[in-house]
């Protein structure tokens, strides 16, 4: 995850904007967005870190790049952000410690487990993982299915399948609106 993406997460959490951060820190208007393509001044990055009360290491991704890990509070902040983002599209995140390897299991209420990924990789690539899962699981064409309960006997398994399909259709409707 890059510097600008991390600042975006912090802005979302604080319900603020890049422009607001720039005004409150004395950074020129539009500068933060340019940091994707140009190197920012260290003093400006420090101002943003102080504004959000986070370390420079967290903001710049230093721990991830050089140490392969991030601090616990920053990790939790990122997980909270991604939990909310994934939930918007019907995906649920589950955490698992597998002999010291932190794993994120991503499930969908219709499709079941759709992806398993190591935590640090998930935090680094969460946005692109979500986009790929949306394309794979939420854009497929719905086949027409009609189910009538008029006097027919349905097995418990068949009724559960109908309920899962109904939930799938509802989630698509929610995300298309």
Q: What domains sit in the chain, N to C, each tagged with a CATH number?
A: 1-68 (1.10.260.40)
The helix/strand/coil state of 101 is: strand
CA distance 144 to 14: 43
- The structure's pTM equals 0.46
- Helix then strand then coil, in percent of the chain rounded to 5, is 60, 15, 30
Query: Residue 7 — pLDDT band, cuts 50, 70, 90?
Result: very high
pLDDT digits (tens, 9 = 90+) for 75-103: 778 888 888 889 888 899 888 877 778 88
Instruction: Using alpha carbons, list the distances in angstroms from residue 78 to 47, 69, 145, 168.
Output: 21, 13, 39, 27
What average pLDDT does the chain have?
Answer: 81
Mean pLDDT score, 101-129: 86
Is the Cα dihedral 154, 160, 163, 169 positive or negative?
Answer: negative
Select from 29, 27, 57 the least CA-distant residue to 43.
27
pLDDT digits (tens, 9 = 90+) for 125-163: 888 899 899 888 887 555 555 656 566 677 888 878 888
- The stretches of 26-155 forming alpha helices (DSSP H) are 31-34, 42-52, 56-60, 62, 72-87, 119-138
Instruction: Using alpha carbons, list the distances in angstroms from residue 79 to 17, 114, 162, 163.
Output: 21, 18, 32, 30
Q: Please report, rounded to a whole number, the percentage of residues in the chain having pLDDT higher than 90.
A: 21
CA distance 130 to 122: 10
> Is a pLDDT exceeding 50 seen at residue 169?
yes
The 10 Å Cβ neighbour count of residue 143 is 6
CA distance 66 to 165: 45
Q: How buried is residue 64: exposed, middle or buried, by Cβ count under 10 Å (0-12/13-18/19+)?
A: buried
């Amino acid at each position: 995850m890059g510097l600008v993406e991390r600042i975006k997460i912090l802005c979302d959490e604080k319900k603020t904007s890049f422009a607001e951060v720039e005004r409150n820190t004395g950074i020129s208007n539009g500068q933060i967005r340019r940091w994707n393509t140009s190197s920012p001044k260290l003093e400006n990055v420090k101002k943003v870190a102080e504004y959000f009360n986070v370390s420079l290491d967290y903001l710049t991704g230093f721990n991830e790049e050089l140490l392969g890990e991030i601090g616990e509070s920053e990790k939790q902040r990122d997980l909270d952000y991604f939990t909310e983002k994934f939930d918007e599209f019907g995906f649920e995140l589950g955490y698992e410690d597998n002999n010291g390897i932190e794993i994120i299991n991503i499930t969908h209420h219709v499709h079941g487990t759709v992806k398993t990924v190591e935590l640090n990789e998930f935090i680094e690539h969460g946005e692109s993982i979500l986009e790929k899962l949306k394309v794979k699981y939420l854009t497929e064409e719905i086949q027409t299915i009609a189910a009538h309960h008029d006097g027919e006997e349905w097995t418990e398994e068949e009724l559960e399948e109908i309920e899962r399909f109904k939930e799938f259709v509802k989630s698509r409707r929610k995300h298309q609106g």
